[in-house]
Amino acid sequence: MALAELAKNKLRTFLSLFGITIGIFCILGVLSTVQSLEANLQREIKSLGSNTIYIDKWDYNSGGGPDYPWWKYVKRPEPRYSDLEQIRLRTPSAKHAAFEINTNTSVDAGANVLGNVNLYGVTETFHEIQPVVIESGRYITETEFAQGINVGVAGNEVAEKLFGTAERAVGKQLTAKGKRITIIGVIKKQGKSMIGGWQFDQSVIMPYRYAKSIMEEKASSPLVLVQAKDGISSRALKDDLRGAMRSIRRLSPTQEDNFSLNDINDFSDAIGQAFVSVNIGGWAIAALSLIVGMFGVANIMFVTVKERTAQIGLKKAIGAKRGVILTEFLLESAFLCIIGGIIGILLVFLLTQVVTRAFDFPIFISLPLLLMSLAICIVVGLLAGVIPAYQAAKLNPVVAIRS
């Protein structure tokens, strides 16, 4: 009966559906985008190293802007390669420790020149902390690390722009600051990163001992990466590292730290806290659209009850109880909202596919969010139809038939 009534007034039904469709589209679209953005950011943060501390002279958690005390950090000493062995000896909670230096420069392979390439000089255990997935060729061996051989693994973008394909790049040479590097492997494509990070697509990774001949260590943003042992939290590792670094730097109890211990987990927590406010804002925007759609459905239900007053009176006269009449209109209202919601869900699904392919930004609709959207449709339908349904249920059959 509900379907038949909806089919009778196609334009009115469409307008009612449209309001709910837009409401569900806003809720699902906004929340899916926010959830996908948070998930992508969290995944990229985790890619910087699981349970890892970055030892640097700069504090990453202080942010930037005019209030950033750069004058305080710029005077601090840089991390040194000689610190690495001391950190390993003095930090029992550390599983792996690695040293890294980097610079940004142009590289060339014959006639082909590519600018803005990140050159990373790393120690043997770097890939244990920061996994590097090789698409073609191989990674650097321990012997090559130890002897400082002029080999490296190139990012996917570097390989394709200089040599055409990843496979063709393996075994070829490129030149950086007058030094030759033999490409022994190509890193699997990573894609664009929203937080910066390592940007391996535009990089070349080589042994630290050879990288020193290309870049000056102190002027190459030296960094120590330390990963906690299994079962040990990053907070416990951080406490151990603070004691170890203070001992290495020979700081007295009254002196403040002249280094920063940047915990990757802190970044993840900060992102989570920031998205709490974003989610609240998304709910507020989406709820406003849904309320407008609910009023539209309620208005249509009032008109429907008015049109079918005589029919209601006839049903009650032959024995229909109030509950039957109430259920009929509530079901019709809920059914109307469910159809509108399903259309909204389909539109959001199509939008996610378009955005994912066009901008290389994966957006997904989680199952809980999908089920919640359907539940909202049912609740909104019941709320929109409860007053018109109640008015229809309490009509006097005689008066209703005469009207």
- Rounded CA-CA distance 361/33 in Å is 10
Which of these, 29, 106, 103, lies nearest to 355 by C-alpha position?
Answer: 29
Which of these, 30, 31, 36, 26, lies nearest to 340 by C-alpha position?
Answer: 26
Q: In one letter, which amino acid is 167?
A: E
Q: Which residues of 126-153 are buried (b: 16+ CB within 10 A; e: fewer)?
A: bbebbebebebbeebeeebbeebbbbbb
DSSP state of 95: E
Structure token pair of residue 66 = 């005019």
Which of these, 81, 74, 72, 114, lies nearest to 100 by C-alpha position?
Answer: 81
CA distances from 309 to 10, 13, 396 (A): 20, 19, 10
Helix (H) or strand (E) holding 24: helix 10-46
Which of these, 401, 332, 378, lies nearest to 12 by C-alpha position?
Answer: 332
Q: In one letter, which amino acid is 268?
A: S
Residues 6+ positions from 161 with CB-CB distance below 8 Å: 112, 114
Q: Per residue of the chain (403 residues), what is the pLDDT tens digit?
A: 767 777 777 777 777 778 788 888 888 888 888 888 888 777 777 767 678 899 999 887 765 556 677 778 888 899 999 999 999 999 999 999 999 999 999 999 988 899 999 999 999 999 999 888 999 999 999 999 999 999 999 999 999 999 988 889 999 999 999 999 999 999 998 877 666 678 899 999 999 999 999 998 888 989 999 999 988 888 899 999 999 999 999 999 899 989 999 887 777 777 777 777 777 877 787 778 778 778 878 887 887 788 777 877 888 788 878 888 888 888 888 888 888 888 888 998 998 888 888 777 778 888 888 888 888 888 888 888 888 888 888 877 777 777 6
CB atoms within 10 A of CB 164: 11
* R_g over Cα of the chain: 32
Where are the chain's structural domains?
2-44+274-402, 92-228
pTM reported for the whole predicted model: 0.70
